[in-house]
Amino acid sequence: KNVWETYSINRLNIPSIFMADGPHGLRRQVDTSDNLGINQSLPATLYPSSALSACSFDEDLMFELGRHLALEAKEQGVNLVLGPGINTKRHPLGGRNFEYFSEDPLVSGRLAKAWIKGLESEGIGACVKHFTCNNQETNRFLMNSLVDERTLNEIYLRPFKIALEANPSSLMTSYNRLNGLYVHSSLELIKKLRDEWGYQGCLISDWGAVDDRVASLEAGLNLEMPSSGDYYQEKIKQALKQKTLSLRSLDEAVNHVLDLVFKVTPKKPYKPKEKSNALFHDLAYRIAAESMVLLQNNHVLPLAPEEKVLLIGDMVKNPRLQGGGSSHIIPQKVDFLLDLIANYSSNITYLDNETDVLKGKYQTELDQAEKIILVLGLNEEDETEGMDRSTLDLPLKQQKLVDYLSPFLRKTVLVLMSGSVVKIPKRESFGAAVFAGLMGQAGAGALLDILYGKVNPSGKLTETFAHHLEDYPSTPFFLGQKENVPYAEGIFVGYRYFVTKGIDVAYPFGYGLSYTNFSYQAIKGNRSTLTDNSYLKVSVRVANIGPCAGKETVQLYLRKVNPQTLRPSKILIDFQKVLIPQGKISEVQFNFPSSAFAIYDAYSHSYKIEPGEY
């Protein structure tokens, strides 16, 4: 009907449904002809971006995020939420990395699956995106991702396969081509979805992605968004007459669209019993508090209320809370650090201009301060839909600020506001560092609670922070305007590459510190041999031997001894986040099938388990 709605057909009692962007908050456009967010959208809760919330490693929290998004969707008359975004982070300069969960397909798939279950538990439909190999924004309408069969299945299809176990209402195909064919017209890929995976939801195009509606209909794309109008309608009629399009393909598309419409249309109008803004804001706070990552700490954190602290950085006043593009939200409310710091200490002074600091106006204050909080990060134009970044570096002015503050870095806490990997100048000189990410509307309170020890940080990185851009194996094949993009690094994406090659990194995947300490004891499995279609149980005792309660994400990795087939040195096969009181021990149990040991075999076009020792 327009950019956001399908047609209603009153004579057949077929209602219209309304769609809205929403990986980390609803962008319900007031103007139904506006798909770029040029005009106003309705205010909504701005949750932390997926790049940060994934660091929680908390599936229960992602379920709650999905459920609360659904409650807001009901209030705003939205039937289908366009999210979650689960593309694998192939390269750190990807412009939409802030919208995605991880470089690891298991993490992306599991968190997305929980998010979808939460959303759909309230009767609102999810639209998982962007299927598939949409790993860069540069030239995204024309690019041709050249991916071998094993890499495609193990790295780029796997998060979608896991997420679709939650049976989301719809799936969005991506802009790009894959091995020569646009994804929305790839009969082989859609056949895999339908026949091999058994997915029966509605397949929807990304907005303006369809280049040939007849070919995409025959391949199995159900709904083009938005409509191309009479031009393609006539093309479809002609194709039916000429028998270049089967009536069965058209009927299948209609059936899937009708299934979607009737599934996500509420039986009666939703009337909220009470305004839930406080509950939404509290969830945004909890996600930020569970997700922020303590990157380093040389006895500088937590801060004490009596300590004399300087707060530096233009981002204190103008924080980075989200990325740019179709997911940009107008927040219901925003907590600002400057409005909250009085609740933590009366000894904090804000130096409100980076330029004045660089000019040497605050030398006395810098000398006298016991601790310094320095807030740095990327600009919104660095992380936005439609373009990729060109460097890992922070803005030049911020680099100069770090240089100027060199004599004071040992007592400085770096707070990093970005949606993706950055290179931190003089990284090892900082007394402490916290990855605050794109922290959403309630992130300021979560950050201060962590800095002052009211919350014990428990976030773990879901992507690798390498030392240099050149360290990433996909760098030679990522940058530039080329249409054909070879995924020549194959399965060696993220930590799979760095661990296998033994390359040192700044901060590894799965890493994050705590204010307490954990000891792993008595790791054991329940059997020494495993056969097809059987399960392995692994248990580990995790003791909190530090000074306070804390949460630990226990990560289970698999390594093949003397592999005959090329494979990473280790891969993540399971994880659990657990709360362990001070001085207590938690026994963590993993139970997983033998299929976790399998790798994709391109010759048989199936997963196989290589016999041997693991």
Return the active site residues: 206
Tokens of 215: 């070919």
Alpha carbons within 13 A on the beta-carbon side of 165: 13
Q: Which ranges constitute the DSSP H helices of 321-455?
A: 337-340, 354-358, 363-368, 396-404, 443-451
Those residues whose C-beta lies under 8 Å from the C-beta of residue 519, and which sit 6 or more positions away, are 542, 543, 545
CA 171 to CA 129: how far, in whole Å?
6
Judge contact between 255 and 409, C-beta under 8 A.
no
d(CA 610, CA 614): 10
Distance from C-alpha of 161 to C-alpha of 193, rounded to nearest angstrom: 8
DSSP string, 483-547: SEEE-TTTT--THHHHHHHT---SB-TT--B-SS-EEEEEEEES-S---TT-EEEEEEEEEE-SS
Task: Please give the distance of CA 231 from its chain centroid, rounded to a whole number.
Answer: 37
| Region of 539 on the Ramachandran plot (φ > 0 left; ψ -120 to 50 alpha; else beta) | beta
- Whether the CB-CB separation of 308 and 371 falls below 8 Å is answered with yes
Q: Please, are residues 17 and 73 in contact by the beta-carbon 8 Å criterion?
A: no
Phi and psi at 229, nearest 5°, equal 85, -155
Please give the distance of CA 367 from its chain centroid, rounded to a whole number. 40
Q: Which two tokens stand for residue 467?
A: 């030392």
Q: Return the closest-CA partner of residue 516 out of 584, 456, 452.
A: 456
* Enclosing H/E stretch for 253: helix 247-264
Q: How far is it, in rounded angstroms, from Cα 536 to Cα 160?
A: 24
- Tell me how crowded residue 554 is: count the other CB atoms within 10 A of its CB: 18
**Phi, psi of 588, deg, nearest 5:** -100, 130
Contact, 49 vs 65, CB < 8 A? no
Q: Is 332:450 a contact under the CB 8 Å cutoff?
A: no
Q: What angle do CA 44, 76, 436 make, to 5 degrees?
A: 20
Q: DSSP of 46-73, one letter per residue?
A: -PPPHHHHGGG--HHHHHHHHHHHHHHH
Q: Are 283 and 47 in contact (CB under 8 A)?
A: yes
* Amino acid code (one letter) for 304: A
Cβ 536 vs Cβ 558: under 8 Å? no
Closest by Cα among 142, 224, 151 to 180: 142
